[in-house]
Amino acid sequence: MSVKEDIPAIFLDKISPKGLDAIQKCKDFVEQYCLPADKIYLEQLSPDPTKRWKSTPQITEKLKKKAQELGLWNMFLSKHYAEGAGYTNLEYGLMAGYLGRSLVAPEATNTNAPDTGNMELLAKYGTQYHKERWLKPLLNGEIRSAFLMTEKGTSSSNALNISVSAKKNANGNWVLNGIKWFASGSGDPRCSVWLVMCKTAETKAIYENHSVLVIDAKKALATGNAKLIRPLHVFGYDDAPHGHFEVEFNNYEIPSEDMPHSILASEGRGFELIQSRLGPGRIHHCMRSIGAGEQALLRVSHRANNRLIFGTLMAKRESFITAFAQHKINLQKCRLLVLNAAHKIDISNAKQAQREIAMAKIETPRTVGRVLDWGIQMFGAEGVSQDTELARSYAINRTLQIADGPDEAHLNQLGLKEAKKFALASEFFAQQEEYRKRLSNL
């Protein structure tokens, strides 16, 4: 089936021929290679808890080679970057909708989080050293990375609360102390670089007290002063070999030879960097989530075609048909919200698109969560088991209501911005009264 049938008509003329071709290739790659590989990927993961973090499924490397042959590589990095694949956020958003249908597709195309956000930061703010040392091997899919921001016992959605400290010692080197957790990607044996949000100052200019440090993960772990404490489970899933680890810094001193390259951008710009990182990333997450929702509906459709309920196929029952139609409508609403936000980023920037991004980020995980929950219900006990992808998809999607800022934070910020327009309502109706008087005098 042509991808044109899936693209909302309002966006068709905004997609280049190159983009349309890549979207079609992405759909075909996911259906012909990635979805069949999902089961193989899980089978290749070692059940031994001591080995799950020491190797990676070989099927992924085979898929990566195929994706590169097809030109489906690093599509997330928009045409604003010299290192990018030349697509708009809108075009990649449509690709992400297909990638989200499969467990392995994002990594197979080198568009997996948190590497995407880290690569974008390195491309935007990194020095030539950062680009050669870290960005290039990340773009080549040779290494993995992690972003260490969230902290235990802290409301990390407000970055003012970030307390892991980096202070300079007598040698002029940064010394880190504190605990990060849910450091996604840090468990992967290929993880070689950490981008760490730290408090580097204590001044009245509260938004200039934090910085993003670039740390050689292998070197840090070798000292013993930086440790991977444990993987955090998400609804029972450890997400090996990727992992969401708790990481402890205990007087970890960045080596002198690494100090000239230890700060990304410059000291005190941590807030600017994380906002730059999270904007497009939220759109990527949302489109992948919609893809998971569409895959769930496909899975449920197949079950409905084969499940008899008191002698009648589920697919013929009116209650099923109407519920299915409503879920399709709800997913399409989310798709429009997300693609609108992506297009707004393309024609302006992530900061100018904050309102649109917030709306998409709030609504999409909630809607997809309801789709997945319904899908699980349609399967009964099988739906919560490992025999369908629904349970894992539900766990991943539910986490998105917290990740990259919880719903409450986005709703509050959106509400505060909209509340500033309340005065316009009074002005509007006062103006309407003036117009009424004018008409009365005609």
pLDDT greater than 80 at residue 128: yes
What pLDDT, on a 0 to 100 scale, did the predictor assign at position 387? 92
Q: Residue 186 — very low, low, confident or very high, per pLDDT cuts 50/70/90?
A: very high
Domain-embedded: residue 24: yes
Q: Are residues 196 and 294 in the same domain?
A: no
Q: Are residues 286 and 399 in the same domain?
A: yes
The CATH number assigned to the domain holding 40 equals 1.10.540.10
Domain-embedded: residue 424: no
Q: Which residue, among 111, 103, 76, 391, has the nearest Cα to 241 in the 3D structure?
A: 103
Q: What is the pLDDT of residues 375-396, one digit of tens each?
A: 999 999 999 999 999 999 999 9
What pLDDT, on a 0 to 100 scale, did the predictor assign at position 20? 97
Domain-embedded: residue 138: no
Q: Are residues 283 and 379 in the same domain?
A: yes
pLDDT greater than 80 at residue 278: no
Total count of domains within the chain: 3
Q: Are residues 280 and 392 in the same domain?
A: yes
Domain-embedded: residue 44: yes
What pLDDT, on a 0 to 100 scale, did the predictor assign at position 75? 96
Average pLDDT in the 331-354 region? 94
Domain-embedded: residue 438: no
Q: Are residues 182 and 248 in the same domain?
A: yes
Q: Which residue, among 59, 15, 20, 61, has the nearest Cα to 41 in the 3D structure?
A: 59
Lowest-pLDDT range, 46-50, 110-114, 140-144, 342-346? 46-50
What pLDDT, on a 0 to 100 scale, did the predictor assign at position 257? 97
What pLDDT, on a 0 to 100 scale, did the predictor assign at position 316? 95
In a 3-state reduction of DSSP, which class is residue 142? coil
Name the residue range of residue 217's domain. 145-264
Lookup: tokens for 179: 């605990």
Of 225, 248, 264, the position where a domain reaches its end is 264
In a 3-state reduction of DSSP, which class is residue 404? coil
Q: Are residues 247 and 362 in the same domain?
A: no
Of 229, 247, 264, the position where a domain reaches its end is 264
Lowest-pLDDT range, 179-188, 259-268, 414-423? 414-423
Q: What is the pLDDT of residues 30-57, one digit of tens each?
A: 999 999 999 999 999 988 888 899 999 9
Place of tokens 């449509």: 94
Domain-embedded: residue 131: no
Cα(401)–Cα(203) distance, integer angstroms: 32
Cα(358)–Cα(436) distance, integer angstroms: 38
Q: Are residues 280 and 308 in the same domain?
A: yes
Q: Are residues 287 and 385 in the same domain?
A: yes
The CATH number assigned to the domain holding 371 equals 1.20.140.10
Of 112, 130, 157, the position where a domain reaches its end is 112
Distances (CA, A) of 230 to 55, 164, 238, 239, 274: 17, 18, 10, 12, 25
* Percentage of the chain lying above the pLDDT 70 cut: 100
Question: What average pLDDT is seen over the chain?
Answer: 94
3-state secondary structure 356-387: HHHHHHHHHHHHHHHHHHHHHHHHHHHHHCCC
Annotate 281-333 with DSSP letters as a single string.
HHHHHHHHHHHHHHHHHHHHHHHHTT-EETTEEGGG-HHHHHHHHHHHHHHHH
Measured between alpha carbons, how far apart are the two ends of the chain, in Å? Answer: 60
Higher per-residue pLDDT: 34 or 442: 34
Q: Which residue, among 327, 347, 337, 246, has the nearest Cα to 283 in the 3D structure?
A: 337
Q: Residue 72 — very low, low, confident or very high, per pLDDT cuts 50/70/90?
A: very high
Cα(6)–Cα(351) distance, integer angstroms: 28
CB 29 within 8 A of CB 75: no
Domain-embedded: residue 137: no
Domain-embedded: residue 89: yes
Q: What is the pLDDT of residues 76-91, one digit of tens each?
A: 998 888 898 999 999 9
To the nearest 5 percent, what fractions of the chain are helix, strand and coil?
Answer: 55, 15, 30
C-alpha 375, offset from chain centre: 23
Lookup: tokens for 61: 């490397």
Q: Are residues 215 and 278 in the same domain?
A: no
Q: Are residues 244 and 302 in the same domain?
A: no
Q: Are residues 96 and 160 in the same domain?
A: no
Q: Are residues 18 and 64 in the same domain?
A: yes
Distances (CA, A) of 239 to 33, 56, 68, 186, 245: 21, 12, 25, 11, 10
